[in-house]
């Protein structure tokens, strides 16, 4: 017995078309929901990356500010160091009263000082590093020749001119020997020694030159000892 379908073909086609449209609509909604979710996720990640970028930029700005402050401090430190070195060079390494007391202590009996001149000037000590002037082995022209570069050091040196009178040349020689043994002086040399008369008494008028030793460091005990000996020398004289 054959089955008889009483449903019209138009109705069947319409139902299938509705089901197909519904399936397409559902799939479209699913795709749109996926796209919306992906868009929201991307936006959230972009905001997170933007926030991290702002934090990194803020940290970089702080680091740059710290580096700038450090560079400013280094520049100030170098300027202060240069100022301190210049001030230390301009200051007297040994007080003149102590130096005069040391010169008085070394006077032989009957000898006295007439004049003392002190001058300071800048000296330049140029030295050549010989180890760099030797040729170094190497390919081509690199190891053929090496030029020697002089190193220049600037410092202040104190030069003294000492004038006085003594009974004879023996006292002058003794005074020079005492000055050479002093911890303050260096390069003591006789410039002139001539005969002179003071109240019809014959004396030897002498002129010496000397240099103040560099990097002289005197303690308070040394200064007190020099001044005490100077007072005794004055009383004995």
Residues 114 and 228 in one domain: yes
**Which of 74, 91, 108 finishes a domain?**
91
Angle between helices 220-236 and 96-105 (to 10 degrees): 50
Tens digit of pLDDT for each residue in 178-206?
888 888 888 899 998 888 887 788 888 99
Residues 52 and 123 in one domain: no
Residues 68 and 103 in one domain: no
Main-chain dihedrals φ then ψ at residue 140, nearest 5 degrees: 70, -140
Tens digit of pLDDT for each residue in 108-167?
888 888 888 888 776 655 444 444 444 444 444 444 444 444 433 446 678 889 999 998
Structural domain containing residue 198: 96-127+152-236
**Which of 44, 63, 91 finishes a domain?**
91
Residues 156 and 111 in one domain: yes
pTM over 0.85, yes/no: no
Domain assignment present for residue 140? The answer is no
Secondary structure of 28-95 as H, E, C letters: HHHHHHHHHHHHHHHHHHHHHHHHHHHHHHHHHHHHHHHHHHHHHHHHHHHHHHHHHHHHHHHCCCCC
CA angle 183, 187, 190 (to 5 degrees): 120
Residues 17 and 101 in one domain: no
Domain assignment present for residue 72? The answer is yes
């Amino acid at each position: 017995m054959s089955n008889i379908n009483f449903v019209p073909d138009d109705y069947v086609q319409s139902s299938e078309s509705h089901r197909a449209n519904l399936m397409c609509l559902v799939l479209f909604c699913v795709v749109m929901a996926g796209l919306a979710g992906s868009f929201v996720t991307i936006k959230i990640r972009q905001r997170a990356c933007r926030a991290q970028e702002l934090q990194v930029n803020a940290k970089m700005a702080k680091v740059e500010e710290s580096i700038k402050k450090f560079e400013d401090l280094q520049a100030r430190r170098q300027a202060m160091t240069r100022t301190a070195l210049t001030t230390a060079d301009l200051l007297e390494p040994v007080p003149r009263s102590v130096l005069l007391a040391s010169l008085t202590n070394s006077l032989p009996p009957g000898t006295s000082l007439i004049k003392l001149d002190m001058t300071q000037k800048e000296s330049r000590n140029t030295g050549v590093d010989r180890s760099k002037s030797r040729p170094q082995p190497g390919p081509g022209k690199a190891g053929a020749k090496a030029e020697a570069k002089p190193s220049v050091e600037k410092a202040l040196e104190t030069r003294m001119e000492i004038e006085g009178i003594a009974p004879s040349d023996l006292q002058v020689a003794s005074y020079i020997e005492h000055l050479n043994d002093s911890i303050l002086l260096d390069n003591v040399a006789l410039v002139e020694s001539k005969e002179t008369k003071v109240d019809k008494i014959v004396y030897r008028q002498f002129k010496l030159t000397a240099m103040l030793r560099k990097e002289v460091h005197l303690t308070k005990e040394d200064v007190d000892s020099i001044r005490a000996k100077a007072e005794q020398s004055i009383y004995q004289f």
